[in-house]
Amino acid sequence: MGKPTGFLEYERKVSTDVSPKQRIKNFQEFHEHLSMEEQQLQGARCMDCGVPFCQSGMTLCGMTSGCPLHNLVPEWNDLVYTGNWEQAYNRLKKTNNFPEFTSRVCPALCEAACTCNLTGEPVATKENEYAIIENAYEKGYAAARPPKTRTGKTVAVVGSGPSGLAVADQLNRRGHLVTVFERSDRLGGLLMYGIPNMKLEKHIIERKIKVMEEEGVTFVTNADIGKEVKADKLLKEFDSVVLACGSSNPRDIDAPGRDAKGIYFAVDFLGRNTRSLLDSDFKDKKYVDTKNKRVVIIGGGDTGNDCVGTAIRHGAKTVTQIEMMPKAPDERAENNPWPEWPKICKTDYGQEEAIAVYGHDPRIYETTVKEFLKDKDGSLKGVKIVKLSWEKDAATGRMVMKEAAGSEKTLEADIVLIAAGFLGSQKYVTDAFKVALDARTNVKTEPGAFRTSVENVFVAGDMHTGQSLVVKAIRQGRECAREVDESLMGYSNLYIQ
């Protein structure tokens, strides 16, 4: 695929970013992409390797290597190189319902598994994907294509995040009549209110929703199934119901002083910020304003980084990010060989902006919060932190984290944002449908299946597996749709991979 000697002739080149101090002035995407001609040369770098690990989606040492969607990466890299953009779009859409999302927010598992990593830099697959889908919208290839026939079968999808949208898109393509119910005021779930605008501008979601509506999918917002809308109503009115409500319970921090005013879950902080931006460009003041505030963020993942970038854009006085784990190495360790996912230190856009604004990396590693400190009015004034160290537990022989004696320290703080992950599905939804749960409160199914313990009720996405990536949620949605289709029709011709 590509040009046989392309990886030797052309250096990897990707979009440039607007400088940190400039891009923090707004909440817009900040990548300046390559021209189509330059992008075609990046497609030429795909090296026709014997085993394309980029599309494997294997699990190696507990980590995913390659694309979980099994995208036909070498094929559309070659089509980009030859300038056959329409065919490239057709091959991309065969496996990925939403390349407009993944080309913006996916961590590019395909690139980490690229064979070029052995001796150089990987093919710029993620940006090739971006170029394919944006060109498809510009040229009309991505326009609505309603199904030619309808089966008369009806499906309700509860939740409009990436897995729910993938279920809806696949089943509508098959000819079923699909209605998506979303409890929020806007569609997109995690994509809309869990990911900030500078990573995924919301008109991109609305653009795709419009296409799906033109193709026949019905969307209902402000419909909180299990509360305002009874589960029994859906079970009576639809042939099948798919639960795709996400993993919506944020993990809390159990420490003295937790009731202090000024402590927020990251998901609420980010959601309120995006809603206020979209509703009024922040004029309604219905967001958590960090201007001139000392902000402490608990959690080192993508959500924590998004909180860093958001807080800085509002003019935070200081931003500190606390991580329990030790700093990862800057380069692959010997026990982390290709094509495993590289366990290396990543400085994301939020941390880059903090370094530019404050002059240092905001992260403090191997640290946890021991106490939230309050003033006489009950407002947050600081957090007491303590360093952690790895020690072997004498009873079990396992390595555990313990507090390092004498390492306590106090950080001044006006606002704390808890970005410590999520714990399972929400109880009122699972209770409403009476579905069985597993030990982690995710909806239980047989291994590799999506049918719940309740007849005609299926589950997909984070509600099924726990918190994960957008690309994996799309994969879950596609697989679930096939199982729903088989239950309705006795067979399925929906393509998964």
DSSP assignment of 18-41 equals PPHHHHTTSSS--EEPPPHHHHHH
Q: Are strands 363-364 and 409-412 parallel, antiparallel or unpaired?
A: unpaired
Are 359 and 369 contacting, i.e. CB atoms less than 8 angstroms apart? no
Residue 287: inside a domain: yes
DSSP 225: B
If one compares 397 and 375, the residue with the highest pLDDT of the two is 375
Among candidate residues 393, 418, 443, the one where a domain is terminated: 418
Rounded to 5 degrees, what angle do the CA atoms 289, 300, 165 make?
80
Residue 444: inside a domain: yes
At 113 the pLDDT is: 96
Residue 321: inside a domain: yes
Question: Taking 70 as the threshold, does the pLDDT of residue 1 lie above it?
Answer: no
Question: Taking 70 as the threshold, does the pLDDT of residue 83 lie above it?
Answer: yes
Tell me what the mean pLDDT of segment 407-433 comes to: 96
- CATH number, domain with residue 404: 3.50.50.60
Indicate whether 358 and 372 sit together in one domain: yes
Count of the separate structural domains present in the chain: 3
Residue 471: inside a domain: yes
- CATH number, domain with residue 34: 1.10.1060.10
Among candidate residues 418, 445, 468, the one where a domain is terminated: 418
Indicate whether 332 and 452 sit together in one domain: no
Indicate whether 215 and 291 sit together in one domain: no
What percentage of the chain carries pLDDT values higher than 90? 92
Indicate whether 337 and 236 sit together in one domain: no
Question: Taking 90 as the threshold, does the pLDDT of residue 48 lie above it?
Answer: no
Q: Are strands 177-181 and 16-17 parallel, antiparallel or unpaired?
A: unpaired
At 3 the pLDDT is: 86
Indicate whether 292 and 393 sit together in one domain: yes
Indicate whether 271 and 396 sit together in one domain: yes
Question: What residues contact residue 355 under an 8 Å CB cut-off, 6+ apart?
Answer: 20, 347, 361, 362
Question: Taking 90 as the threshold, does the pLDDT of residue 77 lie above it?
Answer: yes
Indicate whether 232 and 328 sit together in one domain: no
Indicate whether 281 and 374 sit together in one domain: yes
Q: Which domain holds residue 268?
A: 263-418
Nearest-CA neighbor of 465 among 432, 425, 427, 435?
A: 425
At 399 the pLDDT is: 82
Residue 22: inside a domain: yes
Indicate whether 158 and 223 sit together in one domain: yes
Q: Which helix (H) or strand (E) holds 367?
A: strand 367-374
Residue 468: inside a domain: yes
Residue 149: inside a domain: no
Half-sphere exposure of 472 (CA within 13 A, CB side): 19
Indicate whether 71 and 187 sit together in one domain: no
Residue 254: inside a domain: no
Among candidate residues 91, 111, 139, the one where a domain is terminated: 139
Indicate whether 227 and 130 sit together in one domain: no
Indicate whether 412 and 430 sit together in one domain: no
With bands split at pLDDT 50, 70 and 90, how would you rate the model's confidence at 210?
A: very high
Tell me what the mean pLDDT of segment 435-457 comes to: 96
With bands split at pLDDT 50, 70 and 90, how would you rate the model's confidence at 474?
A: very high
Tell me what the mean pLDDT of segment 47-51 comes to: 86
Residues listed for the chain: 497
